[in-house]
DNA sequence: CTGTTAGCGCATTCAG
DNA sequence: CTGAATGCGCTAACAG
């Protein structure tokens, strides 16, 4: 039909005809049938978004904030967003279905596990996808990430500059690269500043409020207490702050706290949180750009590492020699 | 094909044949093409979810938590979730497209505005949808909501029982029924307990952290200060708590604070928040049930109002006569 | 510039 | 119980 041409803004339609069609479309409030279009055209204009685990959607607000930005960017390009997730129980996934059934043109993976087999197999199948906060040696993998070394270093340098020498560290889920890199940077820093750290200052968390809470309590029981705690994300830092409040420990007077991500709440809790902003706008923009690029040019793989930024707020202060209150 | 029968679990296929097909499906890792299926079968097995405004996705974590539950429930029924939203600028919407193009079988609307014209027109077009936290006089509208009167009453009764008589109230966005009902219940309560309230104790908020922050500061400047503030959602309560912290005002000793929704953070801030739990699990379950029912039986419209539950935590305490500290 | 033909992959209907 | 014909609504390729 000529209608198709008009709908798709193609040339070679007389002006009058075009207008006539347009008017008819108006009157009938006609919409082109998506399924037919997809079937015929082989493009769905849908993107699926995959959360590392179901509970993370709630657990990690950072990814929600990112999702919102992604949805906006995608819509600017005429794409819709599908919500997918990896089921909690077992490793069962439903994105194979999404891809297999051709419900989406591509996928976005949040913080996948290191060496996730699903991803390698997707890559082998040449399914377009990009990892956000993940990496791969495979040059046929797209990813967007920020530099964890720089971010972590910024926090540590800042704490150091405040005079802190007993800096504890709370990891995220070490199945994820981000968590691992932050930990490694911390360890390296410790090695380079021998005088300052104590072995027992690492707590293995899982990104959640609860684990942050536990981390604080656990670290605070050490014989020699930390004067600062670096939580690998804001969520855990919030848990830590809660624990401090419960024990009537003043932040930042008695102990400094930092997070990572700069989520919405970071500036709205008390005390407001010193943290690292990863730049969700830029991340979303790049992710969409790279993904669509890969969809249209299947042999084009881009990998980007952006630079995060330290955000100084009120949860950190100069190291003070006052012995922390005993509880 | 016989394949179709097998894929759709239809009878009248010899066992051997079925198994042979199944095996072939395995080997070829065959997936039925969704577009073709939709085109032929007229059902997409997709549901669209509509947020009242774009920024609400970030602003109102309650709806995120609800979305997650909805996604789970929908998946149990073989449905996928599409993310839609109403654009910030103007009233432009994209769910008409979603429906028009037949990308979804139905829609879920979060907290629509009262008398939303979009909804009446959808209803007239017999598009299956259900409002979550919305109502309608139109008996051809599905909705799931909780009883705001009961929830609000519970909070007020509790505060009253603690001895509070100067209870301030912070509204949500009054374009939404929830906000309005909570306000009206408050006003009615005030009327019924004449001795206690002061005219100037209502602050008009918009659900956001920021408006909660402003609300606290504003209310606390009143000549006669409130001894308790009831925020219409947790998010604003968090803002209020932040404001109190900034002014070194102790909660709950100097002032009691309550929220509404019982979001994740409610139990994790300091002090943990007395609030109202609306039962997201049940809401999600009912929403999906009603929506699918309406899709399969177009003349079946269900409307449900669930009962919320008071959650008592640490942000509320007995009224004390100590004059609040002056700042 | 406009219309015709064919096929995207499935499900429904009807023969075999 | 199994297979062949037809159409879902659109677009690409071609003919007029």
Q: What is the pLDDT of residues B76-116, one digit of tens each?
A: 998 999 887 766 655 567 788 888 999 999 999 999 988 88
Q: Which residue has the higher pLDDT, B323 or A139?
A: A139
Strands across the sheet with B129-132, in order? A303-306, A142-146, A129-132, A106-110, A46-51, A80-85, B80-85, B46-51, B106-110, B129-132, B142-146, B303-306
B46 to chain A: which residues are within 8 Å by CB? 82, 103
pLDDT, residue B106, reads 95
- Residue B229, SS3 per DSSP: strand
Could B39 and A33 be called an inter-chain contact, meaning their C-beta atoms sit closer than 8 Å? yes
Q: Which bin fits B208, alpha (ψ -120 to 50), beta or left (φ > 0)?
A: beta
Mean pLDDT of A216-230: 93
Determine the residue among B270, B271, B272, B280 to mutate to test chain A binding: the one whose Cβ has the most chain A Cβ atoms within 10 Å.
B270
pLDDT, residue B18, reads 84
What is d(CA B221, CA B30) in angstroms, rounded to the nearest whole number? 68
Q: Which residue has the higher pLDDT, B12 or A25?
A: A25
Mean pLDDT score across all residues of chain A: 90
Mean pLDDT of A28-48: 92
Containing H/E element for B19?
helix B15-28
Angstroms from B283 CA to nearest CA on chain A: 17
Q: Are B283 and B261 in contact (CB under 8 A)?
A: no
Q: Which residue has the higher pLDDT, B148 or A126?
A: B148
- Token duo for residue A129: 């996808």
Containing H/E element for A46?
strand A46-51
- Token duo for residue B126: 């017999």
CA-nearest of B243, B257, B272, B235 to B164 is: B257
Could A31 and B239 be called an inter-chain contact, meaning their C-beta atoms sit closer than 8 Å? no
pLDDT, residue A223, reads 85
Residue nearest to nucleotide D6 (CA to C1'): B40
What is d(CA A200, CA A191) in angstroms, rounded to the nearest whole number? 14
Q: Band of the pLDDT at A10, cuts 50, 70, 90? A: confident
Task: Determine contact: A114 vs chain B, CB below 8 A.
Answer: no
CA-nearest of B291, B292, B309 to B144 is: B291
What part of A 153-212 touches B (C-beta under 8 Å)? Answer: 209
Task: Determine contact: A100 vs chain B, CB below 8 A.
Answer: yes
Q: How far is the CA of A125 from the C1' of C4 (A)?
A: 38
Residue nearest to nucleotide D8 (CA to C1'): B40
Q: Band of the pLDDT at A88, cuts 50, 70, 90? A: low
- Token duo for residue A249: 């420990």
Mean pLDDT of B38-56: 86
Summarised one tens digit per residue, pLDDT across range B207-235 is 999 999 999 999 999 888 999 999 999 99
Percentage of residues of chain A with pLDDT beyond 90: 64
Angstroms from B44 CA to nearest CA on chain A: 9
- Token duo for residue A142: 């797209």
- Token duo for residue A239: 């848990």
Q: What ranges in B193-261 are assigned the alpha helix state H?
A: 209-220, 234-246
Q: How many CA atoms lie within 13 A of A14 on its CB side?
A: 3
Place of tokens 């006003």: B187
E strand spans, A234-315:
256-258, 275-277, 303-306, 309-311
Q: Band of the pLDDT at A104, cuts 50, 70, 90? A: very high
Mean pLDDT of B131-139: 94
Inter-axis angle of helices A61-76 and B61-76, nearest 10: 80
Q: Which bin fits B126, alpha (ψ -120 to 50), beta or left (φ > 0)?
A: left
Strands across the sheet with B167-171, in order? B202-204, B167-171, B228-231, B256-258
Q: Are B235 and B65 in contact (CB under 8 A)?
A: no
CA-nearest of B132, B264, B52, B5 to A242 is: B264
Q: Which residue has the higher pLDDT, B117 or B254?
A: B254
pLDDT, residue B148, reads 98
| Whole-number Cα distances in Å, A113 to A78, A95, A118, A211 | 30, 15, 10, 19
Q: Are A45 and A78 in contact (CB under 8 A)?
A: yes
| Whole-number Cα distances in Å, A167 to A159, A163, A185, A199, A206 | 8, 10, 13, 11, 19
Could B103 and A34 be called an inter-chain contact, meaning their C-beta atoms sit closer than 8 Å? yes
Summarised one tens digit per residue, pLDDT across range B20-37 is 888 889 888 889 999 999
B83 to chain A: which residues are within 8 Å by CB? 67, 71, 80-83
Mean pLDDT of B232-257: 95
CA-nearest of B243, B219, B240 to B231 is: B240
What is d(CA B273, CA B258) in angstroms, rounded to the nearest whole number? 6
Q: Are A208 and A53 in contact (CB under 8 A)?
A: no
What is d(CA B79, CA B103) in angstroms, rounded to the nearest whole number? 12
Percentage of residues of chain B with pLDDT beyond 70: 93
pLDDT, residue A294, reads 95
Q: Band of the pLDDT at A300, cuts 50, 70, 90? A: very high
pLDDT, residue A17, reads 85
Among A50-54, A58-62, A128-132, B291-295, which stretch is predicted with the lowest mean pLDDT?
A50-54
**If you measure CA to CA, which chain B residue comes closest to A270?**
B242
Mean pLDDT of B253-265: 96
Which residues, at least 6 apart from B227, have a Cβ–Cβ distance to it below 8 Å? B164, B165, B166, B167, B255, B256, B319
Mean pLDDT of A239-259: 95
CA-nearest of A297, A304, A251, A257 to A278 is: A304
Closest nt to residue A37, judged CA to C1': D10
CA-nearest of B304, B299, B18 to B143 is: B304
End-to-end CA distance of chain A: 80
B85 to chain A: which residues are within 8 Å by CB? 71
* A323 pLDDT above the threshold of 60: no
Closest nt to residue B35, judged CA to C1': C9
Angstroms from B192 CA to nearest CA on chain A: 36
Q: Band of the pLDDT at A327, cuts 50, 70, 90? A: very low
Q: Band of the pLDDT at A80, cuts 50, 70, 90? A: very high
Could A72 and B61 be called an inter-chain contact, meaning their C-beta atoms sit closer than 8 Å? no
Q: Are A81 and A70 in contact (CB under 8 A)?
A: yes
pLDDT, residue A326, reads 44
pLDDT, residue B326, reads 44
Among A189-198, A240-249, B17-26, which stretch is predicted with the lowest mean pLDDT?
A189-198
Closest nt to residue B12, judged CA to C1': D1
What is d(CA A54, CA B83) in angstroms, rounded to the nearest whole number? 16
Q: Are B150 and B305 in contact (CB under 8 A)?
A: no
Task: Determine contact: A314 vs chain B, CB below 8 A.
Answer: no
pLDDT, residue B178, reads 95
pTM of the model: 0.91
Q: How far is the CA of A25 from the C1' of C1 (A)?
A: 20
Q: Which residue has the higher pLDDT, A318 or A98?
A: A318
What is d(CA A210, CA A237) in angstroms, rounded to the nearest whole number? 10
Which segment, A55-59, B146-150, B246-250, is predicted with the most confidence on average?
A: B146-150
- Protein side of the strand C interface (CB < 7 A): A 1-2, 5, 11-18, 36, 39-40; B 1, 4, 7-8, 31-33, 36-37, 39-41
- CA–CA–CA angle B245, B249, B254 (5° rounding): 140
Mean pLDDT of B147-169: 96
What is d(CA B304, CA B133) in angstroms, rounded to the nearest whole number? 10
Task: Determine contact: B68 vs chain A, CB below 8 A.
Answer: yes
- Residue A233 phi, psi (nearest 5): -150, 165
Q: How many CA atoms lie within 13 A of B50 on its CB side?
A: 28
Q: Band of the pLDDT at B206, cuts 50, 70, 90? A: very high
CA-nearest of A23, A73, A58, A21 to A210 is: A58
- Token duo for residue A10: 């193609």
- Token duo for residue A56: 């993370």
What is d(CA B93, CA B118) in angstroms, rounded to the nearest whole number? 9
- Token duo for residue A41: 């055209």
Q: B168 exposed, middle or buried (CB, 10 Å; 0-12, 13-18, 19+)?
A: buried
pLDDT, residue A1, reads 67
pLDDT, residue A178, reads 95
Could B58 and A65 be called an inter-chain contact, meaning their C-beta atoms sit closer than 8 Å? yes
Percentage of residues of chain B with pLDDT beyond 90: 64
Mean pLDDT score across all residues of chain B: 90
Could A102 and B33 be called an inter-chain contact, meaning their C-beta atoms sit closer than 8 Å? yes
């Amino acid at each position: 039909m000529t209608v198709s041409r008009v709908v798709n803004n193609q040339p070679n339609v007389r002006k009058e005809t075009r207008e006539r069609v347009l008017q008819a479309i108006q009157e009938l409030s006609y919409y082109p049938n998506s399924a037919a279009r997809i079937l015929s055209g082989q493009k769905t204009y849908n993107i699926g978004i995959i959360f590392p685990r179901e509970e993370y959607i709630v657990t990690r607000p950072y990814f929600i904030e990112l999702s919102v930005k992604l949805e906006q960017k995608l819509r600017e390009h005429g794409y819709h967003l599908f919500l997918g997730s990896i089921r909690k129980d077992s490793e069962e996934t439903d994105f194979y279905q999404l891809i297999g059934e051709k419900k989406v043109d591509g996928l976005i993976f949040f913080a996948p596990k290191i060496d996730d087999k699903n991803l390698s197999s997707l890559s082998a199948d040449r399914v377009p996808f990009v990892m956000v906060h993940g990496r791969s040696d495979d040059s046929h993998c797209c990813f967007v990430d920020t530099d964890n070394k720089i971010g972590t270093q910024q926090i540590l340098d800042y704490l150091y500059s405040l005079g802190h020498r007993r800096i504890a560290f709370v990891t995220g889920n070490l199945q994820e690269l981000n968590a691992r890199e932050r930990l490694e940077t911390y360890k390296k820093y410790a090695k380079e500043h021998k005088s300052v750290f104590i072995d027992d200052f690492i707590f293995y968390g899982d990104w959640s409020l609860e684990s942050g809470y536990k981390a604080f309590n656990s670290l605070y029981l050490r014989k020699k207490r930390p004067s600062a705690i670096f939580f690998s994300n804001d969520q855990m830092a919030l848990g830590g702050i809660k624990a401090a409040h419960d024990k009537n420990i003043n932040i930042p007077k008695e102990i400094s706290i930092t997070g990572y991500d700069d989520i919405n709440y970071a500036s709205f809790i008390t005390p407001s949180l010193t943290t690292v902003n990863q730049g969700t706008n830029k991340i979303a923009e790049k992710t969409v750009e790279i993904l669509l690029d890969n969809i249209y040019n299947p042999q084009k793989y881009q990998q980007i590492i952006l630079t995060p930024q330290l955000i100084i707020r009120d949860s950190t202060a100069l190291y003070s020699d006052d012995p922390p209150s005993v509880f």
